Amino acid sequence: MDDIELATLREELRKDCEVAQAAGQLAKERFEGDSAASLEACAYNLARLYNVIEQMAQRVARLFENSIDEDRGWHAELIRRMTIEIGGVRPALFPENLAHPLRELRAFRHLVTHAYDLTLDPDKLRLLLKYAGQVVGALTPLAHDFTQNVAAMHNLTALNT
């Protein structure tokens, strides 16, 4: 890990946070519509939100661990891995209290992506929007703290903010 790699990661995570915030906001706005199309648009944006969160986790795993085992179940394993610190290598990206909301969003993304016939439940979407709000509200400070902690852990100086 060097200053350039960390500065690049910081900017990639910052941009990912912006995309996640936009997807979360759009999901919320689309849910407020009163039609099946509105619910579908909400579901699409919730899936999009999880896609960007998973991309963040993949960036970290590739940079620090040099691998992502793309065996069956790797999506769920990725969340677990990002909630643990690897001493001397990297801090956790996500706190343990976000693991459940992340698992729920991941499962929903899987359902939306692979369902042949899907009827959306407004109550389930409402719960997922709550989870999305918890996650999105934490992402930017988590990404910032993560890169700051990596800088300290590896004695890097490029990140002064």
Looking at residue 51, which CATH number applies to its domain? 1.20.120.330
User: Residue type at 137?
Assistant: G
Question: Is residue 26 in some structural domain?
Answer: yes
Query: For the chain, what is the domain count?
Result: 1
Question: Is residue 49 in some structural domain?
Answer: yes
Question: Is residue 47 in some structural domain?
Answer: yes
| Count of Cβ atoms closer than 10 Å to residue 137 Cβ | 12
Of 46, 21, 49, nearest to 140 by C-alpha is: 21
What average pLDDT is seen over the chain? 92
What confidence category does residue 116 fall into, taking pLDDT thresholds of 50, 70 and 90? confident
Does pLDDT of 10 surpass 60?
Answer: yes
Question: Is residue 80 in some structural domain?
Answer: yes
d(C-alpha 17, C-alpha 22), whole Å: 9
8 Å CB contact between 90 and 148? no
Q: Phi and psi (nearest 5°) for 120?
A: -85, 135
In this structure, is the dihedral angle defined by the CA atoms of residues 9, 11, 12 and 13, taken in order, positive or negative? positive
8 Å CB contact between 46 and 112? yes
66 Rama sector, left if φ>0, alpha if ψ -120 to 50, beta otherwise = left
Question: Is residue 158 in some structural domain?
Answer: no
> Residue 9's domain spans which residues?
3-153
For residue range 44-77, list pLDDT tens digits in order: 999 999 999 999 999 999 999 866 666 767 888 8
Helices within the chain (DSSP H only): 3-31, 36-65, 74-82, 99-114, 122-153
Which pLDDT does position 76 carry in this prediction? 81
Question: Is residue 91 in some structural domain?
Answer: yes
